[in-house]
Amino acid sequence: MMLDSQDDMVVEPTRNDRDQVAIIEPDQLDNDSETLGDVTLATDFEAIKEIVLTPLLEEPKVLEDVVDTWKVENWRSLGKKEHGPTFKAGGYPWRILLFPFGNNVDQSSIYLEHGFEDLSSVPDDWSCCVQFGLVMWNTHDPSLFSHHTAHHRFTKDESDWGFTRFLELRRMFQQPWGNSSRPLVEDDSCNITAYVRIVEDETGVLWHNFNNYDSKRETGFVGLKNQGATCYLNSLLQSLYFTNAFRKAVYQIPTAEDESVNNSAYTLQRLFYQLQISGSAVGTNELTRSFGWDTRHIFEQQDVQELSRKLIERMEERMKGTSAEHSLPKMLSGKVKTYVSCIDVDYESSRLEDFWDIQLNVRGIPNLQESFKDYIQQETLDGDNKYWAGDEHKYQDARKGVIFTSFPEVLHLHLKRFEYDIQRDTMMKINDRFEFPDQVDLSPYLEKDADRSEPWVYKLHGVLVHSGDLNAGHYYAFLKPNQDGWFYKFDDDKVTKATMRETLEENFGGEYKSSLRPARSSFQKRTPIMRQMNAYMLVYIRESRLDQVLTPVNKEDCPPHLQQRLDEEAAVREAKRKEREEQHLYLPVKVITEETFKNHPGTDLTHFDFPADEPAAPRHYKMRKQVTMEEAVATIAQDLGQDPRRVRLWIMVNRQNKTTRPDQPIMDLRPTIEETLSRSVGTSRDNNLRVWAEVADEVDEKGNAIWPTYQGNANGVVVKNDLILIFLKHFDTDQQTLHGAGHIYVSKEKKIEELVPVIAKKMGWGEKLPAGEQLAMWEEIKPSMIESLKAKQSLKAAELQDGDIICFQKVTERKDVLGKIPRLGDRNPEEPKRWDRFDDAKAFYDFLCFKRDIRLDPHPRCEIPDLDSFILTLSSKITYDQLAERVGEYLQVEPTYLRFFTANATTGAAKGVVRRVPNATLAQILNPQNYTQQSLQTKSNSLFYEVLEMSLAELDTKKGIKVTWLSEGITKEDVFDVLVSKQGHVEDLVQALVKKAQIKDESEGGRIRIYEIHNHKFFRELVPNYPVLSINDYVDVIAERVPEEEIDAQDGDFVKVIHFQNDPSRVHGVPFKFLLKPGERFSETKKRLEKRTGIKGKAFEKVKFALLRRYQKPVVYISDDDVLLEDGNSIEEDSMLGLDHMDRTRVARNGAEMFLK
């Protein structure tokens, strides 16, 4: 019978009932016993048990089976909910829970529940894993029955589990059951038998729902958070972390002088230490950022083998010159010998190489040992395929193969689960069964002369698993942290104990056991069900070196500077957590003082979001909400170095014009600061108490402040006179600055011109202004509204009130009325007017409204050395030419020789060129009006600049071409940006390259070949008279000297050459043309290829060669005796010569290596 589907096993509260039951709605087609009734009787409990208690996928140990039957009588007279008699199983009480007329459905509902009478006596962590079946059968005819089966982890909270739709009521009472003439419930009664199997919960997580599961508490270990699709990275990192010797070696890398998030060694140290001390799952964000990954790469699963190699290689580089320099090769590197040995003569050619991991075949191979045998299997070279053993021995029969000379202490085995399928012409995952043991002896795979002073016996340490198919899947790991004890399953942030069956059998792959398969149709039964989860990487540790590899790692092994830094960060996090918890008890108080106002260079009295270290930033106090205003004044006065009696606070209010100004002083100091804030109308929007602190200029004989207005009397009455509080700002035309100048009290009836001597005295200019000078004044109503004040106008007529701001500046005296602003034409005609200089405050306020701090960085391709990055404060209303003028002035270069580029909002890298449009403003340059997806990705405060060798006008007549110059075969690439006239040809491009790269011209150094490549494949060679305008912008242009042997060669004698790694689709490097010589054996061709490519020594020895043809799979590699071009023939047009070697310059992330730092 079919198990209940996962969707059916839903836990819901019982409606109209206070108790909660787990509701399972089984598939209606899986449980009727009509086909079984004529052969099996419900009274045959052993036979029924075989039907309802089927083998479980997890195969847990059975502790006890119990069968109990409840005879249910007078069914139609039963209540809404009934309980059967209690029985014992596994030492715990159980009973059947019955809803005779359905639990809010039109079917009977039957459940199994634990029968504890007093739930308070049940421990909170109590659990019991139970497989059970419930059988309803006819009391008179036991051949008539219906059943369902399920399994569940019963806990104190999840006390019941079962079937809401056990059987339709109409089928129970009205319809004959099966082929009989009787209903299932006859004479208003039936039997319900519970088959209860108690199974062992060996790991403590069998059928666990993992609500409130704590990995650290349950296992002592923590997991890693998945950033999106980084489960493959998490499994690899856990494997390396629990290779304790590797962790210790990483800790020995000196990083005290480079605690940068761009240093992958430092971030890996941080990650390992956090895994060691943290109580919860650790994030990998810092590590992936140090790799150079952005959000896009977080959601791309990478090649695990390559990731492992790159990471280990990077750590090995960082260990050079330290005490751990040789630890990784000793731990992770072995040696393998590739050989060709003659059978009839004493001659052998061999090459010894290091390996850091072994790739083993899986397809069609039953187990690990057989795969090792396959790996070292010999190939016989005889007949037409004899081996050339040199001039002495000529052609000989020989055996070709590989043999291991040593294995490392920690052996990484990559199982080739992903291979190219020639039938489907695509990569496929191989789910074949492949067994691997807990312990393996690798001595049979070593050469005879290998050191056998210690046994080559290896113990399984880790199994890294992939679950899913080629296109989608999940990675997790089974690891054994200690020599003895359990394996643990590390599944991202969750860590659980794992049995040996889970570690081994469940990850072998292959078909499910027939006894564990769910029931299917006869057609489906012909198709085997394959396990989708299987091992793709194995980690073995040499048994004799277990103590050294799994050496204990203590807190003291971690670098002290790292511990200190993480302890400091933990303390900061704890302080922030405590602050968040206590935040409701405190109220932020922000105070504007005379000093902060005088330092303020912008509009209003301050900006409340200024950084704390900014001189103009308001002072910030964190006070308990219950502090009285009197206590708050005392605290602020102490900070200002003043007597509290001389300080009073004005409440700041938000005006309708969106400015924030003082409204009136706080006279009653008895309320709390919270009450004061709540009573104030129109105050802070962010729940801060914002005030201006006034310090009295005069005191009486008792030291009490004498205030110009709002003076409190002895009887508590506050006196308000006609004086108003005015704040002053000074615009300095010489310095082009605006700053606060303090405050004054002035009668409303006074005229504007009467403020001149007051301001002059305030500024220290004397009782009156020097002859020939006047003041121009404006009211700052709001940042975008500045109104001129008339000299003869009163403050009352100008509608000035408490908290208003008057801005003033000195102007040359004229007969005009005070406040009339000089026109530009009034300036000395000999003084040139600069567009970035402001003659009056109103124009300066306009600049403040539109100013931006723009960061300008030199473009990476700019060839002038030592150019700086800098920030200019500019108005967003300036034009392209004005921008060029300001930047040119800073750099001291001609503005017309500057070119600008926008910046990518995500990466910060340079984007497209900014076109020179005379009327375009800086705002339009940084934020294009069309709002395409591309423009939304542009940084709004950043530009790149390039200093050109010519003006932009001249540049418009040129075409820019990026040319890669190959100076040493293909091993050295120099990239040059070459400018050629749009009317020019390839021969002009060559001349421009010669000049740019400072290389010999063709007459002296030899002919230069120009060709295009696309996706690392040779596209076409360009003839000298080919127009440069026709060069495709989407191809790469390559330039090289034509080798002497190729100068007069025919096109038909050339073959195109590409580079690939393992699979021809994984191309890399620079392709090129290579001359084939008719009848030449490939052993000689290789010598010319070595010279042609510039790949030398061991690197060239590792290269394998293949002749690639379209649609030809798999790859056929070339032997030394093969001839690529027979006499009188030509190479096939679609054929290419492939060089199979590791891509050490792989660019997978924005043009950078997988690991940069």
Region of 83 (left: φ > 0; alpha: ψ -120 to 50; beta: rest) is beta
Q: Kindly tell me if the per-residue pLDDT of 28 is higher than 60.
A: no
Confidence at residue 1012, expressed as pLDDT on a 0 to 100 scale: 93
Neighbours of 189 (CB within 10 A): 14
Residue 16's pLDDT band (boundaries 50, 70, 90)?
A: very low
| 108, β-bridge pairs | 167
Confidence at residue 257, expressed as pLDDT on a 0 to 100 scale: 83
Confidence at residue 529, expressed as pLDDT on a 0 to 100 scale: 79
The span from the CA of 458 to the CA of 441, in Å, is 6
Taking alpha carbons only, the member of 252, 222, 258 closest to residue 237 is 222
H or E element in which residue 429 lies: strand 426-429
Q: For residue 1062, how many C-alpha atoms fall within 13 Å in the half-sphere facing its CB?
A: 11
H or E element in which residue 112 lies: strand 107-114
**Distance in angstroms between the alpha carbons of the first and the last residue of the chain:** 58
Which amino acids are annotated catalytic?
231, 474
The span from the CA of 560 to the CA of 568, in Å, is 12
Among 422-436, 1087-1101, 1117-1131, top mean pLDDT goes to 1087-1101
Q: For the segment 814-832, what is each residue's pLDDT rounded down to a tens digit? A: 544 344 444 433 444 444 4
Q: Kindly tell me if the per-residue pLDDT of 112 is higher than 90.
A: yes
Helix axes 244-251, 304-319, angle to 10 degrees: 50
56-70, 96-110, 427-441, 701-715: least confident range: 701-715
Q: Any idea what DSSP says for residue 973? A: E
For 690-706, what is the mean pLDDT?
91
CB < 8 Å & 24+ apart, contacts of 41-45: 41/142, 41/143, 42/135, 42/137, 42/138, 42/142, 42/143, 42/144, 42/145, 42/191, 42/193, 43/142, 44/142, 45/193, 45/195
Residue 865: partners with Cβ closer than 8 Å, 6 or more residues away = none
The span from the CA of 1028 to the CA of 390, in Å, is 51
Q: For the segment 250-272, what is each residue's pLDDT rounded down to a tens digit? A: 999 888 887 777 888 889 999 99
The span from the CA of 475 to the CA of 242, in Å, is 17
Residue with the two structure tokens 């509902």: 109
Q: Kindly tell me if the per-residue pLDDT of 892 is higher than 50.
A: yes
Taking alpha carbons only, the member of 139, 148, 143 closest to residue 29 is 148
- Write out the DSSP string of 978-1026: EEEETT-BHHHHHHHHHHHHT---HHHH--EEEEEEETTEEEEEEPTT-
Confidence at residue 860, expressed as pLDDT on a 0 to 100 scale: 86
For 702, 1026, 1098, the CA distances from 988, given in Å and listed in that order, are 93, 10, 40
The span from the CA of 133 to the CA of 433, in Å, is 33
Residue 792, judged by CB atoms within 10 A of its CB (0-12, 13-18, 19+), counts as exposed
Neighbours of 722 (CB within 10 A): 12
Q: Kindly tell me if the per-residue pLDDT of 318 is higher than 90.
A: no
Confidence at residue 24, expressed as pLDDT on a 0 to 100 scale: 46
Taking alpha carbons only, the member of 861, 896, 903, 860 closest to residue 880 is 896
For 413, 864, 892, 994, the CA distances from 954, given in Å and listed in that order, are 61, 19, 20, 21
H or E element in which residue 400 lies: strand 398-406
Residues in the chain: 1157
Q: Kindly tell me if the per-residue pLDDT of 527 is higher than 90.
A: no
For 826-839, what is the mean pLDDT?
57
506-515, 717-726, 912-921: least confident range: 506-515
Q: Kindly tell me if the per-residue pLDDT of 924 is higher than 50.
A: yes
Taking alpha carbons only, the member of 980, 1075, 1083, 1060 closest to residue 1024 is 980
Alpha helix positions (H), 252-303: 264-277, 285-291, 295-298
Q: For the segment 721-735, what is each residue's pLDDT rounded down to a tens digit? A: 889 999 999 999 888
Please, are residues 25 and 164 in contact by the beta-carbon 8 Å criterion? yes
H or E element in which residue 337 lies: strand 334-342
Residue 411's pLDDT band (boundaries 50, 70, 90)?
A: very high
Neighbours of 1151 (CB within 10 A): 8
For 743-755, what is the mean pLDDT?
92
Please, are residues 389 and 458 in contact by the beta-carbon 8 Å criterion? no
The three-state secondary structure class of 1069 is: strand
The 3 state secondary structure assigned to 143-192 is CCEEEEEEEEEEECCCCEEEEEEEEEHHHHHCCCCCCCCCCCCECCEEEE
Token pair for 39: 């052969």
The span from the CA of 136 to the CA of 146, in Å, is 5
Q: Are strands 387-388 and 379-381 parallel, antiparallel or unpaired?
A: unpaired
Q: Kindly tell me if the per-residue pLDDT of 868 is higher than 90.
A: no
Of residues 572 and 907, more confidently modeled: 572
Q: For the segment 1099-1132, what is each residue's pLDDT rounded down to a tens digit? A: 788 888 988 887 665 677 888 878 888 776 777 7
- The residue type found at 235 is S
Q: How far is CA 507 from the centre of its chain?
A: 29
Confidence at residue 299, expressed as pLDDT on a 0 to 100 scale: 67
Q: How far is CA 1040 from the centre of its chain?
A: 40
Q: Kindly tell me if the per-residue pLDDT of 79 is higher than 60.
A: yes
Q: For the segment 562-585, what is each residue's pLDDT rounded down to a tens digit? A: 888 888 888 898 888 888 888 889
Question: What is the sign, positive or negative, of the torsion defined by CA atoms of 611, 616, 618, 620?
Answer: positive
Residue 643's pLDDT band (boundaries 50, 70, 90)?
A: very high
For 84-97, what is the mean pLDDT?
93
SS3 content of the chain, % helix, strand, coil (to 5): 25, 35, 40
Of residues 1072 and 1130, more confidently modeled: 1072
For 240, 249, 558, 1056, the CA distances from 323, given in Å and listed in that order, are 19, 9, 14, 48
The model's pTM is: 0.64
Confidence at residue 829, expressed as pLDDT on a 0 to 100 scale: 41
Residue 230's pLDDT band (boundaries 50, 70, 90)?
A: confident
Confidence at residue 657, expressed as pLDDT on a 0 to 100 scale: 85
Q: Any idea what DSSP says for residue 921? A: B
The three-state secondary structure class of 1085 is: helix
The span from the CA of 117 to the CA of 773, in Å, is 99
Please, are residues 963 and 975 in contact by the beta-carbon 8 Å criterion? yes
Residue 453: partners with Cβ closer than 8 Å, 6 or more residues away = none
**Cβ-count burial 384-411 (b if 16+ within 10 Å, e if not):** eeebbbeeeeeebbbbbebbbeebbbbb
Mean pLDDT of the chain, nearest integer = 85
- Write out the DSSP string of 480-497: --SSSS-EEEEETTEEEE
| 494, β-bridge pairs | 491
